[in-house]
Amino acid sequence: MNGPSKRFSKAELDAALDACAREPVHSPGAIQPVGCLISLDAELGRVRQVSANLETYLDVAPEQALTASARRLLGGPLIERLQQALLAPGPQTRELTVNLGVGRWRRRFHVIAYRSGQRVVVELEPLLAQNEHHLLAVLNRWLITAGEASSVEQLHQRLVEEVHRLTGLDRIMLYRFDEYWNGSVVAESRTGTAQSFLGHHFPASDIPAQVRRLYDINRLRSIPDAAAAPVPLIPAADPLDPAPLDLSPGILRAVSPIHQTYLSNMGVATALSVALHDDEERLGGLLTCHGLTPQRLSPGVRDTVRALVQIAVPQLMLLHTKAEARLMGEVKLPHGLQAEPHGQLINPAQLLQQHGETWLSLFGADGIALYHRQRHGRCGSVPEASDIEAVIDWLPQSSPEASLWHSHCLKETPLGPWRGQSCGLLAVPLPLDSQSPSWLLLFRDEQVDTRRWAGEPCDQAEYRNARLVLTPRRSFAEWQEAVHDQSRVWRRITRRAAVELADNLATLIASHEIQLLNARLRQVNDRLAKMATHDNLTGAWNRYGSEEAIDAEIAAAERYHRPCALLLFDVDHFKVVNDRHGHDIGDQVLARLAAVVRDNLRESDHLGRWGGEEFLVLATSTDADGARELAERLRSSIAGTDFGQASPVTISIGIADFRQGDTPKTLVKRADDAMYQAKQAGRNCVRYSD
């Protein structure tokens, strides 16, 4: 930015701005000449102040009015109506239509009455003979047109066009404030003679804070003739109440000289503005109508303009909410998102590889980084990895409890040194309950913004009586200013969507990590279960697992009357193997033997280690003959296997087939007896228990 002024220091300008901000615009002690004003005491008995032009409207000289009673000046019926109206609860201002005066002075007036401190102010504005029946039709039509607008921009445009048609003024503009109260014209409808201000920026000082506050009190400001000389109040100060009369709620309040000059420099003779407040009652913009020649709008037309705006505002909020909801919908993570290959922690880099580009375009960002568990993923224009670390270190100190941090001018923040080519950052912490915080970081590069100002904003002060005062710009010709080191601002809707995305990411990460934890728990449990039922050396069931399997198989055999057999076998002279070759070789023999046996079994048969060098095979759906065949196959396979230095290795097998009434104990006992017989018979053979 070029700095606040080429000619004045910041301190000088700040002082001038301060003085401007203290100008009592709400109590100028004067009114516009399109009507007259009478200030009464709180009881509506005495007249305390009148506008100097009273005679023009009521044919009563101010001096005479000041000595008269309110009843005498305004008539008993009006005073009684005002008393009733002001006593009843309701809006601050009361509006009535009355006939006042006698003879040729009798006229219809629009009356606005309101309390101002301990006084009652009555503003009278003569009514023009206008047929205003069409106003209701305008409102009815607008209710439909406004409701049909499909975007904020379309509704803005329709509003300025509708007001243009209704008022016939030369230029209707919709003016929106940014966060710093600078304004820009976002929609316009005008006649060919009026200069266009569409897209122009106006500095915050054009509508200073105390003027903005007036719009909070009174949403409508009407200036039928900007050049008209203000009409003072007589006497200038109320002798019984020296507090200046606050005219904020009324319609006639005089225009401040600085504003008069401003409008005249702009070529504006008539101005009408209506405030647009957002759902938090913050002044968000103004609908401003300009006429190039002085024109009076009737109270009915003014009220209709105000009503058009009032109808548009909730519709605008609805459209904003819809746009926001659309964006929120788009930051929802796809259902069943393949976050990471099974069994791995969320990898931010991979997540951004999949979705980074989509998110960049949704948020209008140039770079995005996701930081989680000391790892970060990046996509687009993002500062160096070490700079990201510095940013992450600093962020929690900036506002520890905040749901986000953002800047569109990083150069002016402590992150300046690490910003790289990024000028804007929107940082949202992921709401995860973890020791080290996780962040979603959106970056924007510099956007050299060529701002079209209506008039050069820095040429707004001059020395008067050795004091710097703000002056309205003399020229409203377009003036361009290049704004550097800034990105586009992070709008509220974008900020909300980023918080939503961070929430969604946190949910994804948390559920993924819980799944991971569950998978690990399952693995550990499986291992523990295996350890409880299996033998470590051979992979066969251990004694406990074997017993469980025999129990289950006997129960099934009994229930379904299906055969099963138990083969119990023991390595012959295994002690010799250990003694000769050592225990390790003995172990290897057992492991090899189990593998050979397993190779000879069907899926449904089971191998168990009964103890030491004694094994069993539980052969399901196998009768005595099948068991004999299997036993012989096992025996010969072992005898024919090369066990290296421990060879030859042989086994003796005892077989017992299931008989109705068998228990595990009886079945094992018969198999054990048969195996004993095999040993007795010289080993390396099979015996069947009859």
Quick check: 574 binds ligand GTP (CB under 6 A)? Answer: yes
Nearer to ligand GTP, 406 or 534 (CB): 534
Least distance (Å) between residue 600 CB and ligand GTP: 21
Choose one: 126-134, 269-277, 371-379, 584-592; the region binding ligand GTP (CB under 6 A): 584-592
The closest of 89, 40, 409, 88 to 233, measured between CA atoms, is: 40
Quick check: 188 binds ligand GTP (CB under 6 A)? Answer: no
Choose one: 326-334, 392-400, 570-578, 657-665; the region binding ligand GTP (CB under 6 A): 570-578
CA distance 13 to 4: 8
Is residue 146 a contact partner of residue 155, using CB atoms and an 8 Å limit? Answer: yes
Nearer to ligand GTP, 80 or 587 (CB): 587
Quick check: 570 binds ligand GTP (CB under 6 A)? Answer: yes
3-state DSSP helix/strand/coil % of the chain, to nearest 5: 40, 25, 35
Across-strand partners of 253? 31
SS (H, E, C) 240-294: CECCCCCCCCCCCECCCHHHHHHHHHCCCCEEEEEEEECCCCCEEEEEEEEECCC
CA distance 407 to 415: 10
Q: Which of residues 650-679 bind ligand GTP (CB under 6 A)?
A: 679
Nearer to ligand GTP, 175 or 615 (CB): 615
Quick check: 572 binds ligand GTP (CB under 6 A)? Answer: yes
Least distance (Å) between residue 650 CB and ligand GTP: 9
CA distance 300 to 133: 10
Answer for which of 578, 621, 637, 666 binds ligand GTP (CB under 6 A) is: 578
String of b and e for 489-502 (b: at least 16 CB within 10 Å)? bbeeebbbbbbbbb
Answer for which of 24, 76, 117, 612 binds ligand GTP (CB under 6 A) is: 612
Quick check: 568 binds ligand GTP (CB under 6 A)? Answer: no
Q: Give the per-residue contact string, 487-506, with ligand GTP (x = CB under 6 A; - = no).
A: --------------------
Answer for which of 213, 375, 491, 573 binds ligand GTP (CB under 6 A) is: 573
Least distance (Å) between residue 651 CB and ligand GTP: 9
Choose one: 145-153, 294-302, 371-379, 582-590; the region binding ligand GTP (CB under 6 A): 582-590
- Six-digit token string for 636: 């010969």
DSSP state of 19: H
Answer for which of 571, 671, 675, 678 binds ligand GTP (CB under 6 A) is: 571
Nearer to ligand GTP, 142 or 541 (CB): 541
Choose one: 207-215, 308-316, 484-492, 568-576; the region binding ligand GTP (CB under 6 A): 568-576
Across-strand partners of 454? 478
Site size toward ligand GTP, by CB under 6 A: 15
Is residue 332 a contact partner of residue 358, using CB atoms and an 8 Å limit? Answer: no
Nearer to ligand GTP, 423 or 589 (CB): 589
Quick check: 575 binds ligand GTP (CB under 6 A)? Answer: yes
Nearer to ligand GTP, 22 or 583 (CB): 583
DSSP state of 334: P
Answer for which of 263, 362, 461, 590 binds ligand GTP (CB under 6 A) is: 590
CA distance 410 to 389: 16
Quick check: 583 binds ligand GTP (CB under 6 A)? Answer: yes
Distances, alpha carbon 354 to alpha carbons 231, 338, 351, 377, 665, in Å: 70, 9, 5, 11, 62
Nearer to ligand GTP, 458 or 594 (CB): 594
Alpha helices in 31-170 (DSSP H): 54-58, 62-67, 70-74, 76-87, 134-148, 152-167
Least distance (Å) between residue 575 CB and ligand GTP: 3
The closest of 73, 48, 71 to 59, measured between CA atoms, is: 73
Choose one: 119-127, 366-374, 404-412, 566-574; the region binding ligand GTP (CB under 6 A): 566-574
For residue 157, the Cα-to-chain-centroid distance in whole angstroms is 27
Question: Minimal CB distance to ligand GTP: which residue?
Answer: 586
Least distance (Å) between residue 577 CB and ligand GTP: 7
Quick check: 580 binds ligand GTP (CB under 6 A)? Answer: no
Amino acid at the residue 290:
H
Task: Tally the C-alpha atoms within 13 A of residue 659's C-alpha that lie toward its C-beta.
Answer: 11
Least distance (Å) between residue 534 CB and ligand GTP: 14
Choose one: 257-265, 419-427, 478-486, 578-586; the region binding ligand GTP (CB under 6 A): 578-586
CA distance 232 to 49: 10
Output the CA torsion sign for 549, 552, 554, 556.
negative
Nearer to ligand GTP, 107 or 598 (CB): 598
Q: Which of residues 109-168 bind ligand GTP (CB under 6 A)?
A: none
Quick check: 507 binds ligand GTP (CB under 6 A)? Answer: no
Q: Give the per-residue contact string, 533-552, with ligand GTP (x = CB under 6 A; - = no).
A: --------------------
CA distance 469 to 375: 56
Residues contacting 457, CB < 8 A, separation 6+? 203, 205, 473, 479, 481
Answer for which of 613, 657, 662, 672 binds ligand GTP (CB under 6 A) is: 613
Q: Which of residues 26-55 bind ligand GTP (CB under 6 A)?
A: none
Nearer to ligand GTP, 134 or 583 (CB): 583
3-class state of residue 363 by DSSP: helix
**Which parts of this chain interact with ligand GTP (CB under 6 A)?**
570-575, 578, 583, 586-587, 590, 612-613, 679, 683
